[in-house]
Structure 1
Amino acid sequence: MLPSFSYLTGHLGFRGTIKNSPADFVVTEIEVPKHLLRDAQAEPPQKTSEAPPEQSSQCLRPPKKLRTEPPSPCNGPELNSGPGEASVLDSLLGKPMSELLSQFACDLKDVWDSGNNGDARTGEFSLGPVPEKKNRADLHSAIRQEFPFLVTVTKGNEMIVKGNSDYRELCQLVTEKETSNFFKFLDAKIENSTFSFEPDGNKEHRKVVHHFINRKFGKLLETKSFTVTDVSDQPNMSIMVRFREKSWSRKRSAGGCQEKQDLYTAFTLQKENLETLEAIGFLAAELGVLPSDFSYTGIKDKKAITYQPMVVKKVTPERLKEIGSKMEKKGMRIHNIHSACQHLRLGQLKGNHFDIVVRDLKHHSHDSSADLKERISEAMENVETKGFVNYYGPQRFGQGQNVQTDQIGLALLNEKMVKAVKLFFTPEDTDDPVNNAKRYFLQTEDARGALAMLPEFKVREKMLLRALNRYGVNHDGCTKGWLNIPHSMRIFYVHAYCSKIWNEAASYRLKIYGSKVVEGDLVFSEENNESVSLNDKVHVVTAPEESANKYSINQVVLPMVGHSIRYPSNKVGQWYHERLSKDELQMCKFRVSPLQLNIPGCYRPIVKNVQNLSYFLEGCEKGIEIEDNHLNESKVSLHISFDLDPSCYATVCLREIMKCDF
């Protein structure tokens, strides 16, 4: 996987095998922020004995893996939202500013609860300048969903947060829980959705509520009273609110639903022994939509059981439910189907939870220790304390394939379009319809014939072959072929190449400097100024800072190559330039205009930490002991559970723990 690459920690480790079966490697995507999957009419969660009552239907953990989250620091139903929104605000504002906003919200509620009208300290709160319109829209939406009793306004580029007087007024008429849910319903703006207040037998009181809503939101909403059965099985009256039909002719507001023809359905995809893109190919073929109609937040392992959120466009929840049994035959299950408002985006991932079994436990051949349990304990404690090198894992590059994805990415960066196509169609050493079709195409360049040989679910290959059949297997034809597949798939290959270079750079950095932070290293600035560019947040370590040991290795970042990044000003920076020259990219602008690819680059921490690490030896719990440097591997296995941040790889973490490649 990462041959001869550097390690961070110094323990000896141990040997073992992973992924003996998909069930030995279970990946569960940590919850998606709720405001990205708003749904006023979502299915209620299935009740299980393990599920806490506050768990929403958007929980993405398998039933036996549900975990509760720490409570919000403020009291009241509107502040007890799930952890997703808080993480979104942390990412949009930075943690210090996000915490100040939460404190402002708590202070404001305290003032309201005491019956005061507020003072200068709690009147409003400035988030500072937010120059990007898209960022302002995301902030407006995230803050309203996390704190329904707040409103956000923009003055120039500055964003101001203050209390929502309409919220406070409605709180005087109905319960705070009803008020909070009403404003979330109002903000979501989901077509054909309705909201109902609690049953209310007081006609005069209902009249006051009707008048309030019509006075404040009459252009957008309409209300009516209808008969319901209350908790005592007695007839009662309730107020129902819905959106006026004419409101749907307007463009959506920030964070709201698109126009009437847009339809999104969210679900959790459970897959086994399938690549994410392959699974999408199966789903798209069965549903009669394009792979680009699916969105997700990250690629998951193939040889594993994985759970991840997805959103599909132009498909109803009912249609998705219909194909469930067919998809089970392909190694997929579809859970948690419900309406949504918008697509997911790559990078919205909060993190992943892993449950892994390591079998065939042994010492390394150079290790003379008699106590393997001690080796395992030492390795776990070391990595939990110090972290691991944040390499990209093997699935980023197509582990075990004759042609890896980074090779295709390099050809695209060099604008060698024909070479990239032929690398893409290089077959594996197996005799099956897919690889026979690829083999035939490379031998004959007969795109039409190869197209007829391919199964329907091979959507990317078919898209490319259709264009090649029309335009020819030459430079221009291959360029049009690449343009015929979705942008996210085109840039995936280029990102794979950039990831390979990052891995090599990280290993080189640790080999020459170790864990010491040296002059010329790059670290992220601790200043929380959202208005500055990414490069302005990167600080170059000075000689006095090196002498003072001002920074730790956990703060060091390395650039992912691109057109808008800076390089370290030490030997590592020189290494980057020499390495790109080796691949004939010394003059590369990291913009492939013919393919509409733009690669600005970014920064990645060289070291990451594992969270919530736990483990046990299964056989040892049953009285089976490790003796004489040997282990009855058929009976003893190591079970490991942990969480990782987005874009971190469990196989890389295991490599650091065990000190071996897989």
Structure 2
Amino acid sequence: MPQRKKAKTSWRPKQMHTKHRPGPEEEWRKRLPKNDGSNKNSLREDQVGITEYVSRGAGFTGVVKSRFSDFHVNEIDLDGKVLQLNDLTVPKPAEPTLDEEELAAARQKFREIITDDTWNKMSTLAALGAKDPAAQPIDIIVTALDKTERGQIHDMLKTLYSSKLVGSTVTEVKDSTEERIIRVMKPKYNSSSEKRTRWNFPGEYVHFLVYKENMETSEAASRLASRIGIHPSNVNYCGTKDKRAKTTQKFCIKRRLPSQIVTAAQKSYVRIGNFTFSNNVLKLGDLKGNRFKIVLRHVNGDEVEIQQALENLRDKGFINYFGLQRFGNHADIPTYEIGVALLKADYKTVAELILKPRSNDLPFMAEVRKKWWKERNSAAAAAMFIPNEFIEKKLLDGLAKYGENDYAAALRKIPRNMLLLYPHSFQSFVFNRIASRRIKEHGFKLIPGDLVYRNKEEMDEDIIEKCDLDSTTDIGKCEDNQEVKEDAETPASDAKNEDSIFKRKVKALTEEDIVSGNYTLFDVVLPLPGHDITYPSNEIGAWYEEILAEYGLSSEKLRHKVKTFAMAGAYRKLLICPRDLTWKFRKYSTPEETLIASDWDRIAGKADKIENTEGTGDLKALLLDFCLPPSVYATMFLRELLKSDTSAAQQLKIEIDEMSKVRDKQQTPKVNESKEDAAHVESVNEVATTEKRKLTADETAEVEEKKSKPS
């Protein structure tokens, strides 16, 4: 019997779509160095200018994001409504139906277009099977009709034949003449009826809520786009939300059936619902803020003092720093340094910093970086990648395509929104340093020259054009394949004509303004450096130029010769007060216990059990509920409350220490019990030994007594 030929094994491992990130990264993560919180190369807050606090106090111990389910975010729309996934109804298109009178009138209207013979043929076609060879399409010439009239014919066919026949309008050229034809046919045997359904919804755009867990917003959008068959840029949303969290936010897609989107969502490991329709597309920034529900675990502190700290935070607010996730993961190569090189048009340094080897890297990425750094063979290094979404892969492809020394051209392979994160990181770094120095040297009083919006209702401007600052996206991954195009140099005259509009958004406070009592420190804004920005008209304005000069830059140099990299600047509030802040303490027994009900828990009927169960156990948590404006970091709120570093490494170290204390506490009673048991046994043994000695002594005395007696 001949042996069966073995199937050829592919060298490329299959990428499975799992609940977590797909691809070989899951395998590599298993080989990561042990994460024990001792990573000395992890970025600290003081290294990015985060040093001051609003209120004094010792703070207390509490672990942030012990589990991703401890961090919930719900978007707040422009109407101030907190968005919650609570309706899974899938809307269906309105079926066009005509009553007998309307049908008779339509047949009469189009009697010259659709003759009795054509009607008979369509009736015969409707009765045939889909695979019947005789089931041939029937063409109706409709060149003379407008779009509305063609729609009336489609409605008539739908009313008469339902799903037995489908019609589509096509254009054909015959004898150099263009003809419009409604082609009537049997539905294709293996095609989805959705593809043949006319758009009968009350709006061009389908709006819906997306609930995701432990997934980046860009990844959710990319997965939906892939399964629907559109480019990721056609999936629109108002802002990016945290990855390590449970989040709900609004998406929109143009002219795709809700049932089709639901199917794509099921394969993308996200939940969707609350469908609405609109003729308006969602844009980044179309939100009023975010509602946060956060658990701090392993809380260790006096409850009275903690409540006082919460009241201070509610009334006095916190410094509106840019959080650590803004600056990457590595202290040796912070993202703002790459931004400086990009702003100085030093493209070689930009490329080298992105590809430079670093500690605590993913094992496969460490090998890629090492190979490129040593050999400078971009094609060979790029071939080591299996996932394509990494920014390093895009850059290596660019170097391989345009030449090992054409760094400027290679960088254009990186999506614009990802590349801009580097210079925006530098702007954020400058803002943090200025904010800290402003608080340290001048405290919380207004000073002449402070900037405020002329219109007090102005929202904070978003530094990132079409990219929300709440993003916690890994700087190393690309959202889509949209390359940066080389822009023409911006004429100086054109740029100067545009300066005044943005500069007039703010004014400098005078002594009279301060005395009037119309302004507080919550009205003060600080600029993010740029070429089209108003700086404070006091010593703070000079601080900006000092910091820029440290890095070989100036405000004028931020008017980059490539328009894409030109930094106009923006304004950002110095202090932020949380809204609707509430809190409560809760006991729990295990680190795995769920303490906040998510939108999906409510749909599944689990919310009551999670929220209303009396907590038991030796562990204590603090449950926080509050709202923040767009682009404000919840981690900076938590930093002000805890008075501790919010870096992942520091939080992990705290959690390890607290868990160690819990284990020691649980083991202590057992040890004491064992010691008591041992003492009891020893005591019993001593009594027995004493009794034995007494008995021996008595027996000896009795023997001696007998010996001494005469016989």
- Name the TM-score class by shorter chain: 0.5 to 0.7
CA distance in 1, matches of 2:83, 2:411: 34
What is the distance in 1 between the residues matched to 2:507 and 2:305?
A: 39
Rounded to whole Å, the distance in 1 between the matches of 2:425 and 2:577 is: 23
- Identity of counterpart residues, as a percentage? 32
Equivalent residue number for residue 640 of structure 2: 656
1:107 corresponds to which residue? none
**Equivalent of 2:327, from 397, 410, 417?**
397
Q: Distance in 2 between matches of 1:656 and 1:245?
A: 64
Match of 1:496 in 2: 425
Q: Distance in 2 between matches of 1:289 and 1:406?
A: 33
* Cα-to-partner distance string for 1:283-332 (whole Å, 9 max, x where unaligned): 5666665544444332322322223333457976555444444433xxx5
Q: CA deviation at 1:281?
A: 5.4
Q: Aligned residue for 1:373? A: 303
Aligned to 2:383: 452
Q: Secondary structure at the match of 2:445?
A: coil
Contact 2:86 2:274 in 1 (8 A): no
- In the alignment, which of 76, 100, 120 is matched to residue 30 of structure 1? 76
User: After the TM superposition, which residues 479-628 of structure 1 pair with which residues of structure 2 at under 5 Å, given as runs?
Assistant: 479-526=408-455, 533-586=501-554, 588-594=556-562, 596-619=564-587
Say if 2:298 is the partner of 1:357: no
Over aligned residues, Cα RMSD in angstroms?
4.4
2:213 maps to 272
Give the letter for the 1:415 counterpart.
A
Change (3 A) 1:196 1:537: farther
Q: Return the alpha-carbon distance in structure 2 between the equivalents of residues 620 and 271 of structure 1.
A: 25
User: Where does residue 353 of structure 2 map in the other structure?
Assistant: 423
Residue 37 (structure 2) pairs with residue 9 (structure 1): no
Give the Cα separation in 1 of the matches to 2:213 and 2:365.
Answer: 20
Which residue identity is paired with 1:300?
K
Per-residue CA deviation, residues 469-511 of structure 1 (Å, 9 max, x unaligned), is 111232xx22122222332222222212111111111111111
Return the alpha-carbon distance in structure 2 between the equivalents of residues 19 and 301 of structure 1.
Answer: 11
Shift of residue 17 of structure 1?
0.8
Q: Give runs of aligned pairs for residues 268-307 of structure 1, distance below 5 A.
A: 268-280=209-221, 290-307=231-248
Structure 1 alignment gaps of length 5 or more: 35-54, 65-191, 204-218, 228-243, 247-261, 364-371, 622-631
CA contact under 8 A between 1:27 and 1:305: conserved in structure 2?
A: yes
Cα displacement string for residues 72-117 of structure 1 (whole angstroms, at most 9, x for unaligned residues): xxxxxxxxxxxxxxxxxxxxxxxxxxxxxxxxxxxxxxxxxxxxxx
Q: Given that residues 278 and 458 in structure 1 are in contact (C-alpha distance below 8 angstroms), is that contact kept between their aligned partners in structure 2?
A: no
Q: How does 1:302-321 map onto structure 2 within 5 Å?
A: 302-311=243-252, 320-321=261-262
TM-score, normalised by the number of residues in structure 2: 0.55
Aligned counterparts of 1:288 and 1:194: Cα–Cα separation in 2? 24
Distance in 2, matches of 1:311 and 1:620, equals 39
Task: Tell me how far 1:584 sits from its aligned partner.
Answer: 0.8
- The answer to whether the 8 Å contact 2:292/2:627 transfers is yes
Which residue type is aligned with residue 492 of structure 1? L
Kept after mapping to 2: 8 A contact 1:294/1:312: yes
SS of the counterpart of 2:322?
A: coil
CA apart distance, 1:588: 4.3
Does the CA-based 8 Å contact 2:78-2:287 persist in structure 1? Answer: yes
Amino acid paired to 2:421 = F
Aligned to 1:298, the other structure's residue is in SS state coil
Q: Secondary structure at the match of 1:379?
A: helix
Shift of 1:274: 3.7
Measured against aligned partners, the alpha-carbon deviations of 1:353-379 in whole angstroms (never above 9, x if no partner) come to 11100012124xxxxxxxx11111111
Report the secondary structure of 1:361's partner residue. strand
Measured after TM superposition, the shift of residue 602 of structure 1 is 1.3
Q: Computing the radius of gyration over CA atoms, which structure comes out larger, 1 or 2?
A: 2
Structure 1 residue identity aligned to 2:309 = A
Q: Structure 2: which amino acid aligns with 1:500?
A: F
How far apart, in 1, do the equivalents of 2:230 and 2:331 lie?
28
In 1, distance between residues paired with 2:170 and 2:280? 20
Q: Deviations over 1:534-590 (max 9, x none)?
A: 322311112333455552101111001111111112221111110110011126432
Cα shift readout 1:150-201 (whole Å, capped 9, x = no counterpart): xxxxxxxxxxxxxxxxxxxxxxxxxxxxxxxxxxxxxxxxxx986999x999
* Kept in 2: contact 1:360–1:634 (CA 8 A): no
Deviation at 1:351, TM superposition (A): 0.8
* Equivalent residue in structure 2 for 1:61, among 84, 102, 113: 84
Q: How far apart are residue 425 of structure 1 and its match?
A: 2.9
Amino acid at match of 1:302: K
Q: Any gaps of 5 or more consecutive residues in structure 2?
A: 1-43, 103-145, 157-168, 172-202, 460-497, 590-615, 647-711
Counterpart among 639, 647, 650 of residue 623 in structure 2:
639
Q: Does 1:464 align with 2:395?
A: yes
Q: Write the distance in 1 (CA, Å) between the matches of 2:288 and 2:271.
A: 22
Query: Aligned pair in 2 of structure 1 residues 397, 357: CA closer, same or farther (>3 Å)?
Result: same
- Where 1:533 maps in the other structure, the secondary structure is helix
Q: Which amino acid aligns with 2:45?
A: L
Instruction: Tell me which moved more, 549-558 or 333-342.
Output: 333-342
Contact 2:395–2:411 (8 Å) recurs in 1: yes
Task: Note closer, same or farther for the CA distance 1:306–1:418 as it changes in structure 2 (3 Å cut).
Answer: farther
Residues 631-659 of structure 1, C-alpha deviations (whole Å, 9 max, x = no match): x9952100001111101111111111222
Letter in 2 for 1:655: R
CA distance in 2, matches of 1:346, 1:529: 17
Post-superposition offset of 1:421: 1.9
Distance 1:304 1:527 in 2: 33
Contact 1:559 1:602 in 2 (8 A): yes
TM-superposed CA distance for 1:337, in Å, is 6.8
Matches within 5 A, 1:192-271: 266-271=207-212
- Would you say the 8 A contact 2:295–2:623 is kept in 1? yes
1:358 touches 1:637 (CA, 8 Å); kept in 2?
Answer: yes
Return closer, same or farther for 1:220/1:576 CA change in 2, 3 Å cut-off.
farther
